[in-house]
Amino acid sequence: MERKKDFRNKFLSKSINLLLKKETSEAWNKAKKLLKIIAIFLFSAFLLAAIGIAFYSWRLSSYDTSLEARVEQAKTKITSLRKEEETYLALTKKIKNAEEILNSRGTIIQFLEEIDLVIPPEIFPPSLGVDKMGNVNIVIPPLSLSEIENLNQNLKKAVSEGKISDAKIGGISKEENGQYKIDISFKLIK
């Protein structure tokens, strides 16, 4: 048994170190330094990227705010321009109407000359209406029978010359003073 004890004391009394002994070589020291430099570089790059992203995000939000302000400014300008456009369109329409009236002046003068052929110049009708189709309605003030006959002859002559058509005497009424009021209608031939 003693032998067993000796064996035990011999082998078990020694301590066993399971950790490896540090052997630092020059290559290992260089590798460690290189790894530290790479780690510092990567950390710096990550930090710069984070700062860059934060700055870019801040710039975008400020750009977004300025863009919203410009959109509001543009809306205000568009609203004011709409009012100007409405004014412009109204004026353009009025100018176009004025041009049509000026261009139709020759037609109006011709029209009045043709009516003058039918109605003697000494008679001034208090009511004269013309529609777009050239239909004319005239209320003639009180006339004597001879003036009515003259008016009838003028109507017949204008129809035979082809200047008017559909000539009608719509109504004759006798006034208190013995004169006659007449409604006539005809169509101008263009």
HEC string of the chain equals: CHHHHHHHHHHHCCCCCCCCCCCCCHHHHHHHHHHHHHHHHHHHHHHHHHHHHHHHHHHHHHHHHHHHHHHHHHHHHHHHHHHHHHHHHHHHHHHHHHHHHHHCHHHHHHHHHHHHHHCCCCCCCCEEEECCCCEEEEEEEEECHHHHHHHHHHHHHHHHCCCEEEEEEEEEEECCCCCEEEEEEEEECC
pLDDT of residue 37: 92
pLDDT of residue 17: 60
Domains held by the chain: number: 1
pLDDT of residue 2: 60
pLDDT of residue 135: 76
pLDDT of residue 107: 62
Q: Is residue 143 part of a domain?
A: yes
Q: Is residue 82 part of a domain?
A: no
Q: Is residue 85 part of a domain?
A: no
Q: Is residue 2 part of a domain?
A: no
Q: Is residue 182 part of a domain?
A: yes
Can you list the residues of the chain whose pLDDT is less than 50? none
> What average pLDDT does the structure give for the chain?
77
pLDDT of residue 50: 92
Q: Is residue 165 part of a domain?
A: yes
Question: Which domain, by its residues, includes 161?
Answer: 105-188
Q: Is residue 28 part of a domain?
A: no
Q: Is residue 171 part of a domain?
A: yes
Check which CATH number belongs to the domain holding 139 and give it.
3.30.1360.100
